[in-house]
Structure formats: structure tokens, C-alpha cells
Chain A
């Protein structure tokens, strides 16, 4: 009996990846290569910029997905966290000559500290109350940013140049100055962030988060330091969002506090839920909904304001019929459709 147990136990199975795992890894690699090399050739500059935003916001939705989907903490302050990351990065980019990756790392780490501060109430609060607190905090951060003005290349701590002439743009890495190259750069940074999250969810923190989300008493009873792991989740999410802020700073060249309205955090949560919070694909779907869809509508001359209504309906649909989001539902629906088509063709050909 013991022998079969040892053979069947998971850590042995982990050594050799299973067939579905291999297929998944291959698909992801091909998609990534396509995105990096073929996509910039196929798209116009307008859509390349849009896809850069998708890459950036996929990190933000990924981070929010970690909080909501993995740990069960609803934060409505992520856009403010993004603004902090962008601020720190912009300031460092103007004030220093450090290489871009170093600045991204610093922006991530400093934002992480801010994120832990935001996460502190999460130790006592959950659900609606945590959402409310993070929303208010985001509002507060937005007010502070608006009062201080976003750094635009001037001198001093805030780096604001009130004269509004000869304002230098936020620099980009020298290897990625042009838009297609910067798109590739953003995708690579995003990929690294996805791998970072993957390394978390597949290991000890991921299992601890799963336990906390499903049953905090059970997690405590199993010796999990729930305080540590909740703060860890906030730290990770803020780090990733901070890095995304850094990439955003270079992408847009000029930052304004009005670019980070508090209500965007709500939309962000809506699209993250729609995309799906239990898989990392969900983050990509969410970012496409959040950035690609409005760009598409704009291009067609349709007001992007319609999206608020669409997202509202989308969340309603997700909450009632597909709690795991589009990333989970669409493949299942397609498989069901395939089965139905096969059945109907086999019936029509006796």
C-alpha cells in the first residue's frame, strides 16, 4: 500500500510535466513569440500603442486578480497604487540616469511599501468594508496627487514645471525608444510579472492564500500566519502595480493626475472579475476589455462611455453564470459548441 502511495504522491509527478502542461506551455510560448515579433508588424501605430496599454494594464489586473481571486481581498484602490508607481518612476527617471529596469524595480519596491500601508486595514477587514476603505484611500491619494501636481520634469521634490513650456517628456529605455520596441519591452516586463505571480501561486504562498480565501479558521488551525500572507499578497500586488506604473510613465511620456481617476478602480475591478480572477489568462482578457475595447470603439466612432453599461452587464453575467470569468467560461462554451456541432454533423450523415 505504502509503495503505491509513494509512487502516486505529487512531488514525483511534478518532475515530469504532464501532456496538458506541455501543450499549455507550448501554446503560451507561441502566443508570446507571435505577440513579440509578428504583432508589431501587423498593427498600425494606433493599435501598437493600444496593445502597449493592454500589456501594462494586464499587470494591474493580474495584481488585482491575486488579491481578489487568490486571497479573497477586494481592493478598490489599485488605480491609486498605479499612480504612485508612475509617480515614483517618473521622478526617478527625471532625477537620475539609472537604467530603466533598475528604475522599474525601485518603483515597484517603493510602491510595495505604500501598498503594505494600504493593506494594513485588510488585516481586520474583509469584503465590502475593505473595498470601501481602499476606495476612500484611493480617493485620498488622488487628491494628494492632484494638489501636488504630477512630476513633469521640473525641479524639486514634486518636479512640477508650472510654466508648461519646454517640458521634457518622460524618457524611455534607449533600446526601446520607438513605439513598437516599447511595446515589446512592455510585453517582456509583463511576462516577467506573470512568471513572478506563477512562482507564488504554485508554491507555498499560493497554497496559503487558497487556504485563507476558503477558510481563514482552517488556515490558522493549520499554522498559517494569515497576517503575514495577507500583507505578502498586498506587497506582491503593489510591487507589480508599481512596475506597471513605471512602464506606463515611459509609455505616455507625460503624466497628469487626472489620468488616474478614483472611479477607474471600480471599472478595473469590474473588468478583472469579467476576465476571471482564478486564472492568469483572466488578467489578459481583463486588460483587453479595459484598454483594447475602448480603443476599438473610438476607432469606429462609437463613444467608449457605452462600455460602462457593457461592463455593468458583464459583471452581472459573470456573477450569475460564470464566477470564474470569461477566461474560464469561453473555452468551456467553445468546447460545448464543438461537441454540439460534431453531434449535429454525425446525425446528418447517417
Chain B
């Protein structure tokens, strides 16, 4: 459960998030909106890359904003990036293990968790010691997802994970995203422009426009909402 109240982020004169409040309960939740609506900024606030001008963020009862950014990842805030950021020169195993390496977990637990995450994302076809630079774009995306779900994440933030992927890889990814909450117990937030992916994965969805929340609720209802159609989806 994540509760955001009055979140405001300004870059100089540009207000990226404007007094935004929203709550996501559980499962996989969608966050959609036009480019520049503040979706990635919201993720950046959650992962600690951007300090908001105002507002509070409570995740599972914890004040997230008071935590140092690297501690948030260890605590369980995990994310992927719009442009995939798997570390090329490291192996698949080391990429996924990176998150755990800086925690106090025992070596055996860490190993088991990493192998679990690799298996969960369907990367077992790739040798765990293969360097990421030898992987396809789709596999790299999966490495990033595996890194986000390894161990016991609390909040998994997926920033356009399907961007640039062919259809069959997107549907494989959709299956994984749908399974994350049950597999890890984490609240998953999915940002994507692919509405079929969002409606396939997300039970609830929130819509941002110009840094403001314009709608939220069950995905099907939100996608039929007139304001959302006007601001983002367009008229068919």
C-alpha cells in the first residue's frame, strides 16, 4: 500500500508534479498519461533521485522520503528504467545479484533468491554467467525485471518495460508482470503507453496529466473515462 499526498516537484520553472495525491492498495497498478505528465518523475521521487518540493509518501507505513536513495532499494523499492539499464559488462547473475550484494543476507539465501528471480523471469535459457552485452534487447529487459523482483521487494516500479519489444516478448512480459504481486508480495506500478498491456496487467489504474491526477480506479472504468479519453487516449 502506498499513499501519496500533495506531492509537488519543480524543475526550475516547470512544475512536473502538481500537488498530486494518490493511493495504490495492492496488486499491479497502472500509471498512465501523456508524455511529460510526470510519471517518470513520480518514480524518481519514489526511488529517491528527485527530492520533491512538497508532499509526503508513505509506503507500507514507512515514510519513504526520509530514507537515503540506496537504502530504499535495499528496503524494497525497486525499479526499471525507460531506457534499459542492465549493466553490460556484468553477467546476468551479477546483474540480478547486485541488489542483494549490499544487504546483510547470507550467501546461500542470496544465491537462491537470484536463481529464483532468473527462473521467474524466464531467463533460465540464458547461462547465468553470460555477459549482458551478449543478450538481446528483450532479454536485457528481463534482466532488469529480474533485478527488480529479486528477494523480497515491496514496491516494484516498471517504467515502460515493453517499449521497443516485439509482440510475443511483450505478451511474455505481461505474464511476468501479472505474476509479480503473487510471486513476491510486492505492490507493482506499471507505467506504459501500451494500453493493451496496461489493461492486461493492472486491476487499478491512475492517470496523470500535467502533473495532476485526473482519474483513478478500476482499469476498465478509467479507460472509458471521458477526461482520460480527452487528455490522453484520444477519440477512436
Proximity string of chain B (64-103) to chain A, C-beta cutoff 8 Å, 1 when within and 0 when not: 0000111111100011010001111111011000110111
- How far in angstroms is the closest Cβ of chain A from B188? 15
Q: Which of A1-58 contact B (CB under 8 A)?
A: 1-2, 4-6, 8-11, 13
Determine the chain B residues whose CB is within 8 A of the CB of A1 once the complex forms.
119, 124
Q: Is the CB of B102 within 8 A of A9?
A: no
Among B70, B99, B147, max chain A CB count under 10 A is at B70
Identify which of B74, B81, B118 contacts A223 (C-beta below 8 A).
B74
Q: Is the CB of A221 within 8 A of B87?
A: no
Q: Which of B15-58 contact A (CB under 8 A)?
A: 47-49
A220 and B127 alpha carbons, distance in the complex (Å): 26
Q: Is the CB of B101 within 8 A of A9?
A: no
Knowing A5-B124, A10-B129, A215-B87 are in contact, say whether A224-B102 is a contact too (CB < 8 A): yes
Knowing A207-B98, A211-B87 are in contact, say whether A9-B128 is a contact too (CB < 8 A): yes
Identify which of A8, A210, A220 contacts B49 (C-beta below 8 A).
A220
A198 and B89 alpha carbons, distance in the complex (Å): 16
Determine the chain A residues whose CB is within 8 A of the CB of B81 once the complex forms.
215, 217-218, 221
- Interface residue range, chain B: 35 or more
Q: Is the CB of A5 within 8 A of B98?
A: no
A226 touches B (CB below 8 Å):
yes
Q: Is the CB of A226 within 8 A of B129?
A: no
B2 touches A (CB below 8 Å):
no
Q: Is the CB of B115 within 8 A of A2?
A: yes
A226 and B71 alpha carbons, distance in the complex (Å): 11
Among A1, A4, A222, max chain B CB count under 10 A is at A222
A123 and B95 alpha carbons, distance in the complex (Å): 23
B152 touches A (CB below 8 Å):
no
Knowing A8-B127, A9-B93, A10-B128 are in contact, say whether A223-B115 is a contact too (CB < 8 A): no
Q: Which residues of A contact B (CB under 8 A)?
A: 1-2, 4-6, 8-11, 13, 204, 207-208, 210-211, 214-215, 217-226
